[in-house]
Chains A and B, each alone.
Chain A
Amino acid sequence: EVQLVESGGGLVQPGGSLRLSCAASGFTFSSYEMNWVRQAPGKGLEWVSYISSSGSTIYYADSVKGRFTISRDNAKNSLYLQMNSLRAEDTAVYYCARVAVALHDAFDIWGQGTMVTVSS
């Protein structure tokens, strides 16, 4: 079964750090581009970051640029999001999502999400 499972969320104080992980299974992870997408409580979806299959190309939303770092370990079938200098407005459910080139770059598989709460 094709699956993405996020972990690492939790409660963190403003200015703190957190590292999210996304474990992939059921497909050849190293062949797929990946993204992080977040959703604040009661709000819509917001794209956060993209990484190419090799990890050589990376993009960030302006709202997280300079604070968040996306990375991947293809040997471990895992995607990561290092989040530093966290702010209250970063509070959200964070999803990892696979890019399906065959579907013209749609996000075809999503994890169940991990909740990040930034509060003192």
Chain B
Amino acid sequence: SYELTQPPSVSVSPGQTARITCSGDALPKQYAYWYQQKPGQAPVLVIYKDSERPSGIPERFSGSSSGTTVTLTISGVQAEDEADYYCQSADSSGTYADWVFGGGTKLTVL
């Protein structure tokens, strides 16, 4: 089955830039999405279509894609950004039967 691979954890100091990667063989062909999840809360969409930001999401959140890797970048990290982040995509068939989430990355703000 298709898998998306994320690092388990990323740590940064406030004001620094955090980069969270997500790797998958079908990413050159399929869009990726990113969700933020704080403890005890539902996930929140922060990036769609690899690099688009939904309304209401701060500009410090951005996304990019290169080959089989997509990256969520948080510039000028704030304490409130500490959360788990999940990438989502589909395998090469692209049907709704193939939605996959990465394992998640815990962002720690030091």
Contact = CB atoms under 8 A, between A and B. Distances in A.
| Chains A and B are bound partners | yes
Contacts of B48: 100, 103-104, 106, 108
The 7 tightest CB contacts between A and B, nearest first, are: A106-B48, A59-B97, A47-B99, A110-B42, A50-B96, A45-B101, A44-B104
Interface residues of A, number: 25
Contacts of A100: 48
A106 B45 contact: yes
Contacts of A62: 1
B25 interface: no
B97 to A, nearest CB: 4
A112 interface: yes
B16 to A, nearest CB: 25
Interface string A79-120: 000000000000000010100100111111011110000000
Interface in A4-39: 33, 35, 37
Contacts of A97: 43
Nearest to B41: A112
Interface in A33-61: 33, 35, 37, 44-47, 50, 57, 59-60
